[in-house]
Chain A
């Protein structure tokens, strides 16, 4: 009796050992391991269904995510992970399933060709409802004093006023994060402007600088984009560049025209789109307006609310809008 018990314990131990070894084998495997199909180790930590969303570094993107996250959590019972990734790497991550969705894309034809058309690992999730536009802006207080600054032809006249230590003898054109779409260097060259493009390296740095300029009521010229909450804090007026025509920006070196208006798109991982259930459906349905987005953005970036609080505030006030997004 005793012997058999001891035996059985030993047998059980061996079984456990074998099972553990087996699990490890299955887990790390001798077979192929496609890392493009691996999810985040933090995902599904408590057995909940998890959606991983890519957050880009600008606040507008954070607003999309905040609202989507709040609704996914509270209305659909998902757990949401967010990963901050720059735009191009985000496409890659999306293709690999490291993230499930990008909520706001400003147009990346190369990536679209590669992942949506060729590899078919990403699908378009429909429009966000917001139209993006990139341009050059001066503060409205400056534009009111010097109305002709809003035409690019007159920019050289103001170069000396827009000088900073960083731009040296030329005027300063403040540019943003390296992840942004920009033709500014070529534009300055091709339009023969006496300006120096100064890259601020991150949007945070750029916003901080703009605010400091505004506080001191100094003139400045900056690359900026709409929708952006900062316009409510620092009113800015766009400088007209030569009009955009289809294909005028085809050769990046010869660009001499304005930026297009881009309807912002959502993109989903192909697998997630198929088998993501209600979450995938919800994200496809997600569509709001520039004003909506700006409202949330302003709460986050300027009122220093946490994204969660900001989303809650907006959701409390716009129930009719988001009700329509929930899958039936």
Chain B
């Protein structure tokens, strides 16, 4: 055992031991090695098996199956459902319906006008034009009604998320105890793939809009709560003290100082909540959310990339507009406002409301309340032709480099298989040890403990093998993502033009529902794990590229200047100054990459990725709580472990402030 030998060697030479302990990283490893040397022989003697020992698993199939049956049998009679969930569900239906009817009543003209005017008030003329164009595009693509359905669902879900998040955030921001209790939960929810949420919600609420809204709220509220708490906690101590010194009551302190001081974080929270709600609204189509997501999902079923794209584009447009608008609002908050702006602002809103009503009425009297059918542009055919051409020419037999199918085959045989077999062949305690070492090296003993416990929980749940399969896909996808992401990120950081060209591409890929590119990916790479990995790479790349570019760009100018002044070539500058200084950003990129990749590798269950993703899909498709929930829990643990293993201590410390 390697562990034992490292323990005895330094003990012989005390001076070397001292030197080793002085090095923190080595010290940690050493300690871990000691612990391992003691524990592993015992554990190995007791449960000698390569894979997770069967004796240590808990079979939840029976109880979960019973729970599921009980819920279905009692859903229309038990008071818990009648008097609690029933009302929640009812309220959701009423709210969504109310918003939907308002949107329909406003007609396409009214809604478009309102969107443009709101964007104008909040973010200026440029975005107003963009918002108007985006809504018109939704109409042109023939997606007006689904867009309104999604919008209605989004509005309700976002409002509920914001309220829920703000309340939680307020509690955590004002009470240390709540904060300590809530933070690990929120941290964890942040890294969960959306797919893992669906099944329990569906079971309680059944397929349909209430389930979709609630799943969305559960998914989208955490960032709001986190950022609210963060904003409240980070309120400038000096200001708070000054306010207290003037004799403000607790209420006054909160309302006139603490909350206004947190405005930026609150808006950032709103922004993130909207983005997450939108991405979830699409995924929730699997459980009957309707709207645009459903169109994408249905198009996927008939292998119709063009139709999927027609529904996907409005989603991208909505996302980009909402993101830019809330971000611009956040930037404006800090900026100077000329005199008397506030009053002007009020009247501005009045004008906006009046124009909206006027436009809506005009359209109504002109009999143009529905989007005219003749104004619809069909993009499905050309897109499908393009995709067909692409797949048929790239799939196989391309001279010299081989087709994409060959690549996928090679990737599976030479990368995915060895990694998976390697992981699954490793003794289970060795896996835990590696996880502990990585997490400890990058974080504290707490991180290491969380990571190891999460990994062990996977074993206990009895899904050790599929989880390692999923893990192997994640690792492979992350590796590819990082290689490409760093390369492109560096290129973009060094050239404004590259960055400018990349920006819209990144926007689109970041917000495009993953469902849309699952089919082209299958067409190119066949069914199996390779396409799942490819989809994950496509999804995670934008974030990695962005963070890399930003990290490199923000490197201290003085350091760069001094390097230049000493005559460093640009390559030297990059290697010796930029990359080392951008290390925190690069680590963040790794962390984000891992979390995003995991999310899509799970969805990869839809294209033959198998493992946990397939189990979740299977659970949803068959209403099988035992399979689905266990797989979902395993994904949660896997996400937790991966996050802890890749999350540098600095970031945690900052978050803890």
Q: Tell me, yes or no, whether A and B come into direct contact in the complex with CB atoms closer than 8 A.
A: yes
* Chain A residues in the interface with B (C-beta under 8 A): 27-29, 32-42, 45-46, 55, 57-59, 62, 81-90, 92-93, 96, 98-99, 114, 119, 164-166, 168, 174, 177-179, 198-209, 212, 215-216, 300-301, 304, 306
> In the complex, A98 Cα to B621 Cα: how many Å?
17
- Chain B's closest residue to A114 (CB) is B72
Contact B152 A41 (CB under 8 A): yes
| Shortest beta-carbon distance from B304 to chain A in Å | 6
> In the complex, A30 Cα to B352 Cα: how many Å?
38
Which residues of A sit under 8 angstroms from B97, Cβ to Cβ? 41-42
Q: Is B412 an interface residue (CB 8 A)?
A: yes
Given contacts A33-B87, A83-B288, A90-B207, whether A45 and B302 have CB atoms under 8 Å apart is no
| Shortest beta-carbon distance from B610 to chain A in Å | 6
> In the complex, A117 Cα to B611 Cα: how many Å?
36
> In the complex, A201 Cα to B621 Cα: how many Å?
10
Q: Is B530 an interface residue (CB 8 A)?
A: yes
> In the complex, A96 Cα to B75 Cα: how many Å?
9
Contact B87 A164 (CB under 8 A): no
Query: 13 more A-B contacts (CB under 8 A) besides A92-B206, A168-B417?
Result: A35-B86, A85-B207, A86-B621, A98-B206, A166-B530, A177-B621, A178-B605, A199-B608, A208-B527, A215-B395, A304-B304, A304-B380, A304-B384
Which residues of B sit under 8 angstroms from A62, Cβ to Cβ? 298, 301-302
Contact B528 A198 (CB under 8 A): yes
Contact A83 B294 (CB under 8 A): yes
Which residues of A sit under 8 angstroms from B527, Cβ to Cβ? 166, 174, 198, 200-201, 205-206, 208-209
Which residues of A sit under 8 angstroms from B609, Cβ to Cβ? 201
Q: Is B606 an interface residue (CB 8 A)?
A: yes
Q: Is B486 an interface residue (CB 8 A)?
A: no
> In the complex, A111 Cα to B176 Cα: how many Å?
49
Q: Is B400 an interface residue (CB 8 A)?
A: no
Which residues of A sit under 8 angstroms from B523, Cβ to Cβ? 208, 212
| Shortest beta-carbon distance from A271 to chain B in Å | 12
Which residues of A sit under 8 angstroms from B384, Cβ to Cβ? 304
Which residues of B sit under 8 angstroms from A209, Cβ to Cβ? 522, 526-527, 608
Can you spell out 21 A-B residue pairs with CB atoms less than 8 angstroms apart?
Answer: A27-B94, A28-B90, A34-B82, A35-B75, A35-B89, A36-B206, A38-B89, A41-B94, A41-B97, A41-B100, A84-B294, A84-B301, A88-B622, A96-B76, A165-B413, A201-B605, A205-B531, A205-B608, A208-B527, A209-B608, A304-B384
> In the complex, A164 Cα to B406 Cα: how many Å?
10
> In the complex, A306 Cα to B380 Cα: how many Å?
10
Looking at the complex, which one of A38, A84, A201, A212 makes contact with B526 (CB distance below 8 Å)?
A212
> In the complex, A216 Cα to B393 Cα: how many Å?
11
Most buried by A among B90, B408, B529: B90
Q: Is B405 an interface residue (CB 8 A)?
A: yes
Which residues of B sit under 8 angstroms from A201, Cβ to Cβ? 527, 604-610, 613-614, 617
> In the complex, A197 Cα to B143 Cα: how many Å?
39
Which residues of A sit under 8 angstroms from B613, Cβ to Cβ? 201
| Shortest beta-carbon distance from A183 to chain B in Å | 14
Which residues of A sit under 8 angstroms from B411, Cβ to Cβ? 165
Given contacts A62-B301, A84-B294, whether A35 and B81 have CB atoms under 8 Å apart is yes
Contact A40 B208 (CB under 8 A): yes
Interface string of B48-65 (1 = CB under 8 A from A): 000000000000000000
Which residues of A sit under 8 angstroms from B412, Cβ to Cβ? 165-166
> In the complex, A81 Cα to B146 Cα: how many Å?
11
Looking at the complex, which one of B209, B303, B605 makes contact with A40 (CB distance below 8 Å)?
B209
Given contacts A28-B91, A199-B610, whether A93 and B207 have CB atoms under 8 Å apart is yes
| Shortest beta-carbon distance from B298 to chain A in Å | 5
Contact B76 A36 (CB under 8 A): yes
Which residues of A sit under 8 angstroms from B604, Cβ to Cβ? 201
Which residues of A sit under 8 angstroms from B647, Cβ to Cβ? none
- Chain A's closest residue to B301 (CB) is A57
Which residues of A sit under 8 angstroms from B319, Cβ to Cβ? none
Which residues of B sit under 8 angstroms from A32, Cβ to Cβ? 79, 82-83, 86
- Chain A's closest residue to B623 (CB) is A88
Segment 618-653 of B: residues with Cβ below 8 Å from A: 618, 620-624
Which residues of B sit under 8 angstroms from A38, Cβ to Cβ? 89-90, 93, 208, 210
Contact B90 A98 (CB under 8 A): no
> In the complex, A204 Cα to B305 Cα: how many Å?
10
Given contacts A36-B75, A114-B72, whether A83 and B86 have CB atoms under 8 Å apart is no
Which residues of B sit under 8 angstroms from A37, Cβ to Cβ? 76
- Chain A's closest residue to B524 (CB) is A212
| Shortest beta-carbon distance from B271 to chain A in Å | 26
| Shortest beta-carbon distance from A33 to chain B in Å | 3
Q: Is B205 an interface residue (CB 8 A)?
A: yes
Q: Is B188 an interface residue (CB 8 A)?
A: no
Looking at the complex, which one of A98, A179, A200 makes contact with B288 (CB distance below 8 Å)?
A98
Contact B300 A178 (CB under 8 A): no
Contact A164 B528 (CB under 8 A): yes
| Shortest beta-carbon distance from A313 to chain B in Å | 16
Which residues of A sit under 8 angstroms from B518, Cβ to Cβ? 202, 204-205
Contact A89 B623 (CB under 8 A): yes
Given contacts A29-B90, A301-B302, whether A164 and B614 have CB atoms under 8 Å apart is no
> In the complex, A88 Cα to B285 Cα: how many Å?
16
Most buried by A among B205, B206, B304, B396: B206
Contact B620 A89 (CB under 8 A): yes
Q: Is B409 an interface residue (CB 8 A)?
A: yes
Contact A202 B381 (CB under 8 A): no
Q: Is B434 an interface residue (CB 8 A)?
A: no
Q: Is B149 an interface residue (CB 8 A)?
A: yes
Looking at the complex, which one of B72, B207, B531 makes contact with A83 (CB distance below 8 Å)?
B207
Given contacts A205-B527, A208-B523, whether A98 and B208 have CB atoms under 8 Å apart is yes
- Chain B's closest residue to A300 (CB) is B302
> In the complex, A32 Cα to B381 Cα: how many Å?
50
- Chain B's closest residue to A118 (CB) is B73
> In the complex, A200 Cα to B523 Cα: how many Å?
12
| Shortest beta-carbon distance from A30 to chain B in Å | 9
Contact B607 A212 (CB under 8 A): no
- Chain B's closest residue to A304 (CB) is B384
Contact B90 A35 (CB under 8 A): yes
Contact A89 B75 (CB under 8 A): no
| Shortest beta-carbon distance from B625 to chain A in Å | 11
Contact A208 B519 (CB under 8 A): yes
- Chain B's closest residue to A87 (CB) is B621
| Shortest beta-carbon distance from A295 to chain B in Å | 15
- Chain A's closest residue to B616 (CB) is A178
Looking at the complex, which one of B392, B530, B614 makes contact with A199 (CB distance below 8 Å)?
B614
Which residues of B sit under 8 angstroms from A92, Cβ to Cβ? 72, 206-207, 623
Contact B623 A45 (CB under 8 A): no
Q: Is B549 an interface residue (CB 8 A)?
A: no
- Chain A's closest residue to B69 (CB) is A114
> In the complex, A128 Cα to B209 Cα: how many Å?
29
Contact A178 B618 (CB under 8 A): yes
- Chain A's closest residue to B628 (CB) is A178
Which residues of A sit under 8 angstroms from B285, Cβ to Cβ? 84
Contact A204 B302 (CB under 8 A): yes
| Shortest beta-carbon distance from B368 to chain A in Å | 15
Given contacts A35-B89, A89-B620, A205-B527, whether A178 and B614 have CB atoms under 8 Å apart is yes
> In the complex, A177 Cα to B614 Cα: how many Å?
9
Contact B526 A33 (CB under 8 A): no
> In the complex, A90 Cα to B620 Cα: how many Å?
11
Which residues of A sit under 8 angstroms from B206, Cβ to Cβ? 35-36, 92-93, 96, 98
| Shortest beta-carbon distance from B292 to chain A in Å | 13
> In the complex, A38 Cα to B87 Cα: how many Å?
11
Q: Is B290 an interface residue (CB 8 A)?
A: yes
> In the complex, A55 Cα to B528 Cα: how many Å?
26
> In the complex, A223 Cα to B149 Cα: how many Å?
37
Which residues of B sit under 8 angstroms from A27, Cβ to Cβ? 90, 94
Which residues of A sit under 8 angstroms from B89, Cβ to Cβ? 33, 35, 38
Q: Is B101 an interface residue (CB 8 A)?
A: yes
- Chain B's closest residue to A215 (CB) is B392
Which residues of A sit under 8 angstroms from B529, Cβ to Cβ? 166
> In the complex, A50 Cα to B605 Cα: how many Å?
34
